[in-house]
Chains A and B, each alone.
Chain A
Amino acid sequence: MLKRKDILGLSDLKKEELELILDTAESLREVSDRDIKKVPTLRGKTIINLFFEASTRTRTSFEIAGKRMSADVINISASSSSTVKGETLIDTARNLQAMSPDVVVVRHASSGAPHMIAEAIDASVINAGDGCHEHPSQGLLDLLTIRQAKGSIEGCRVAIIGDIEHSRVVRSNIYGLKTMGADLVVAGLPTMMPAGIEKMGVDVAYSIDAAIKGADVIMMLRIQKERLSNPLFPTEREYSIAFGLNSKRLELAKKDVVIMHPGPINRGVEIAPEVADGSHSLILDQVKNGVAVRMALLYLLAGLKQGDN
Chain B
Amino acid sequence: MKVLIRGGRLIDPAQGLDGLYDLLLKDGKVADVSPAGKGKSDVATVIDADGLLVIPGIIDIHTHLRDPGYEYKEDIESGTLAAAAGGVTAVACMANTKPVNDNAAITQDILKKAGDTGHVRVYPIGAMTKGLAGKELAEIASMKSAGIVAVSDDGMPVVSSEMMRVGLEYCRPLDLTVISHPEDLGLSAGGSMNEGYLSTIMGLKGIPRAAEDVMVMRDIALAQLTGAKLHIAHISTAGIVSLVREAKRRGIRVTAEAAPHHFSLTEDAVKGYRTDAKMSPPLRESSDIQAIKEGLKDGTIDLIATDHAPHSTIEKDVEFDHAANGIIGLETLLPLTLRLVDEGVLSLTQMVEKLSVNPAAIIGVEGGSLKKGMPADITIIDPEMKFKVDRKKMKSKSKNTPFHGWEMKGKAVYTIVDGKVVYKEDNYD
- Taking Cβ atoms with an 8 Å cutoff, the residues of A that contact B are 11, 81-83, 86, 88-91, 108, 110-113, 115-116, 130-134, 165, 168, 171, 194-197, 199-200, 229-230
- B residues near A (Cβ < 8 Å) are 189-190, 195-206, 272-273, 313-315, 317-322
Q: Are B202 and A133 in contact (CB under 8 A)?
A: yes
Return B347 CB to nearest CB of chain A, in Å: 38
In the bound complex, do residue A134 and residue B314 qualify as a contact, i.e. CB atoms below 8 Å apart? no
Q: Which residues of A contact B200 (CB under 8 A)?
A: 165, 194-197, 200
A224 to chain B, nearest CB (A): 15
With A111-B204, A115-B273 in contact, is A81–B319 under 8 Å at CB? yes
Please determine whether B322 and A110 come into contact, CB atoms closer than 8 angstroms: yes
Please give, as numbers and ranges, the residues of chain A lying within 8 Å of B196 by CB-CB distance: 195-196
Q: A113 and B203: CB pair below 8 A?
A: no
Instruction: Kindly state the separation between the CA atoms of A301 and B202 in the bound complex, as whole angstroms.
Output: 24
Tell me, rounded to whole Å, the shortest Cβ–Cβ distance linking B266 to chain A: 15
A168 touches B203 (CB 8 A): yes
Chain A residues within an 8 Å CB radius of B197 = 195-197, 199-200
In the assembled complex, the Cα of A193 lies from the Cα of B320 at a distance in Å of 22
Q: Which residues of B contact A86 (CB under 8 A)?
A: 314
Least CB separation from A130: chain B residue:
B203
B-chain residues with CB within 8 Å of residue A112 when the two chains form the complex: 202-204, 273, 319-320
Count A/B pairs, Cβ under 8 Å.
83
Contact B203 A133 (CB under 8 A): yes
Query: Which B residues are in CB contact (< 8 Å) with A199?
Result: 197
Residues of A within 8 A of B320 (CB): 110-113, 116
Q: Give the chain A neighbours of B206 by CB distance below 8 A.
A: 195
Closest 10 A-B residue pairs measured CB to CB? A133-B203, A196-B197, A112-B273, A110-B319, A111-B203, A88-B317, A132-B203, A194-B200, A90-B317, A112-B320
- Chain B residues near A197: list those with CB within 8 A: 197, 200
Q: How far is the CA of A82 from the CA of B319 in the complex (A)?
A: 8
11 A-B pairs besides A81-B322, A112-B273 with CB distance below 8 A are A81-B318, A82-B319, A88-B318, A111-B321, A112-B202, A115-B272, A130-B203, A133-B203, A195-B199, A196-B197, A229-B189
* A91 neighbours in B (Cβ, 8 Å): 317
Q: Is the CB of B204 within 8 A of A116?
A: no
Q: Does B273 contact A83, Cβ atoms closer than 8 Å?
A: no
Contacting pair B203 A134 (CB below 8 A): yes
Q: Is the CB of A83 within 8 A of B195?
A: no
- By a CB distance below 8 angstroms, the chain A residues around B314 are 83, 86, 88
Q: Closest residue to B203 on the A side, CB-wise?
A: A133
**Are A200 and B318 touching (Cβ within 8 A)?**
no
Which residues of chain A come closer than 8 Å to B201, judged between CB atoms?
A: 11, 171, 200
User: Which A residues touch B318, using CB under 8 A?
Assistant: 81-83, 88-89
What are the residues of chain A within 8 A of B322 when measuring CB–CB? 81, 83, 110
| Chain B residues, Cβ within 8 Å of A165 | 200
| Chain A residues in 8 Å Cβ range of B204 | 111-112, 131-133
